Amino acid sequence: MTRVEVAIVGAGFAGIGAAMALRRSGREDFVILERAGRAGGTWRDNTYPGVACDVPSHLYGFAAHPNPSWSGTFAKGAEIHAYLERVVEAEDLGDRLRLGTPMLSARWDGAQRVWAIRTAPVDESTGDGGLIVADALVLACGRLTEPAIPRIGGLEDFPGPIFHSARWDHSADLAGRRVAVVGTGASAVQIVPELARSAAHVSLFQRTPAWIVPRGGETYSDDDRARFLTEPAALEALRADLYAEGEARFASRAGDSAAAAEAEAVARAHLERHVADPALRAALTPDYAFGCKRVLLSDDFYPAVASDAVTLVPTALASVEGSTLVGADGTRHEVDAIVLATGFASTRQPYAELVRGEEGRTLAEHWAGGMTAFASTVVTGFPNLFVLNGPNASLGHSSSVLMIEEQAGYVARVLAGRAGRVLRVDPEAERTYTDEIARAAASTRWITGGCRNWYVDERSGRLTLLWPGTVDAFRDRLARADGSEFLPTPDREPAFEPALEGSSP
């Protein structure tokens, strides 16, 4: 058994950010549990051709670890993964990182007032089972980690290579093969141009078109990188400019009529510039409001789709008959391999089934009507638990790392003021915060835009993934959290005394 003050689950941006915040607040008694063999989160897992970030690189990093060496405006996936591993090294987190250690279950022990976390199956003969006991549990598991595999008749019997974009099979040689790509979201717009250059042909199944704007950007020269290295003020000024641009972009994503109309005009002009065929252009034009779904950035997706190398199937994939893919429109397409760019389990987080709070209730049960939390971070019925990148903590207009840093700061602040007591969220505080989110989201395009998106929980119709405001607004909201979100410690509950090493929870 291992006894710590804080157990962090996940070694991506959120987990590393939480560890950094704890250390800066003087808290050293923590471990980071990571199920994979390396840190890096989504940037470790996604290795498909063309993978890159669509947030400017100098905004997509920790404020305490500026990176003067980014190759360009938009960093490639491997660069971001390498950056995270460098941060782990720079922060000297290696001895706190437990790789190959998944959270199999986490249970709140009310008698001992600790979280009991299992990381290995219990050995029936010895009772051992990778037990970690922690005063506080930080779930930094990521929101886009478990691939969503569509239920399509015959898919499991497809004779060729088939894999999800987030689990790319590099042993499958797709050069000169007929490849189907299912989906036209953020991953697909990066994958399709790459496949179009090497595959014999690409059949692209599009259930719903996306609004796509020019990506632009530049490649940084050696002189640029040298200047960023020797002139930290220049790098800081660039980050400030990118931050301001991101905050300004919120208006067009959320539904400000003038801003949205201007951005939509840019997207339409981009489409018309690259797709001459009126029928194809119509098939690629969304019928919902700009900003309702994730707005994508690409300069080469439209040219690829308009080329002879790609056939757009403007409908969902309905069934698979051997090597024949049948669209919902009845068209049939012979392919040798299938790439599923079908997204992730987002509104129903897989880790929620593994976590049991007071009265044995799982986090999934608490979130049966959609994810909720106070400050997007702490949850009623789950004492001393913090969720990063969870309910209403993502962004549709800027860098999610900014939100992670704010949440991590909140976690460190709350734990610093805990004074050994159990932190139980007042149900009314969570309800009030959830109502605030609902009111702020009600007029946004994510709710009113006429589309189905992964930001809104289909069970309740509530916006549960995105924060319906700017980063500044989120920072201000967390700053107003003064501790009253937690219930007073009952008189019958004495101040917490740390258990002795080796004791059982």
Q: What is the pLDDT of residues 145-186, one digit of tens each?
A: 888 899 999 999 999 999 999 999 999 999 999 999 999 999
Q: What is d(CA 241, CA 471) in angstroms, rounded to the nearest whole number? A: 14
DSSP symbol at 330 = S
Q: What's the pLDDT score for residue 400?
A: 96
Per-position b or e across 247-266, b if 16+ CB within 10 A of its CB: bebbbbbbbbeebbeebbee
Q: What is d(CA 325, CA 323) in angstroms, rounded to the nearest whole number? A: 7
**Of 177, 224, 219, 102, the residue nearest 334 (C-alpha):** 177
| Total number of residues shown for the chain | 505
Q: What is the pLDDT of residues 428-481, one digit of tens each?
A: 999 999 999 999 999 999 999 999 999 999 999 999 999 999 999 999 999 999
Q: What's the pLDDT score for residue 91?
A: 97
Q: What's the pLDDT score for residue 495?
A: 41
Q: What's the pLDDT score for residue 146?
A: 84
Q: What's the pLDDT score for residue 498?
A: 38
- Band of pLDDT at residue 314, cut at 50, 70 and 90: very high
Q: What's the pLDDT score for residue 497?
A: 39
Q: What's the pLDDT score for residue 504?
A: 36
- Band of pLDDT at residue 300, cut at 50, 70 and 90: very high
- Band of pLDDT at residue 126, cut at 50, 70 and 90: low
Q: What is d(CA 346, CA 327) in angstroms, rounded to the nearest whole number? A: 25
DSSP letters spanning 263-292? HHHHHHHHHHHH---HHHHHHTS-SS-TTS
Q: Cα dihedral sign for 505, 12, 457, 348?
A: negative
391 alpha carbon, distance to own chain's centre: 11
Domain architecture of the chain: domains with CATH: 7-105+138-146+345-355+362-479 (3.50.50.60), 155-211+256-340 (3.50.50.60)
Are the C-beta atoms of residues 366 and 387 closer than 8 Å to each other? no
Mean pLDDT of the chain: 94
Are the C-beta atoms of residues 10 and 419 closer than 8 Å to each other? no
Are the C-beta atoms of residues 449 and 260 closer than 8 Å to each other? no
CB atoms within 10 A of CB 297: 19
Q: What's the pLDDT score for residue 491?
A: 45
| Helical ranges in 362-451 per DSSP H | 363-366, 400-416, 427-441, 445-448
Q: What is the pLDDT of residues 11-57, one digit of tens each?
A: 999 999 999 999 999 999 999 999 999 999 999 999 999 999 999 99
Q: What are phi and psi of 46, to 5 degrees?
A: -90, 110
Top-confidence residue, 490 or 150: 150
Are the C-beta atoms of residues 81 and 46 closer than 8 Å to each other? no
Q: Is pLDDT at 496 greater than 60 in this prediction?
A: no
Q: Are strands 337-340 and 97-98 parallel, antiparallel or unpaired?
A: unpaired
Interacting residues of 65 by C-beta distance below 8 A, sequence separation 6+: 83, 86, 87, 90
Are the C-beta atoms of residues 40 and 84 closer than 8 Å to each other? yes
Proportion of the chain above pLDDT 70, given as a percent:
96
Task: Write the burial class of residue 197 (CB in 10 Å: 0-12 exposed, 13-18 middle, 19+ buried).
Answer: middle
Question: What single-letter amino acid sits at 216?
Answer: G
Cα-Cα end-to-end distance for the chain: 10
Q: What is the pLDDT of residues 342-396, one digit of tens each?
A: 998 878 888 999 999 999 999 999 999 999 999 999 999 999 999 999 999 999 9
Q: What is the pLDDT of residues 393-408, one digit of tens each?
A: 999 999 999 999 999 9
Q: What is the pLDDT of residues 136-155, one digit of tens each?
A: 999 999 887 888 899 999 99
Q: What is the pLDDT of residues 231-260, one digit of tens each?
A: 999 999 999 999 999 999 999 988 799 999
Q: What is d(CA 399, CA 488) in angstroms, rounded to the nearest whole number? A: 35
Q: Is pLDDT at 92 greater than 60 in this prediction?
A: yes
Q: Is pLDDT at 127 greater than 70 in this prediction?
A: no
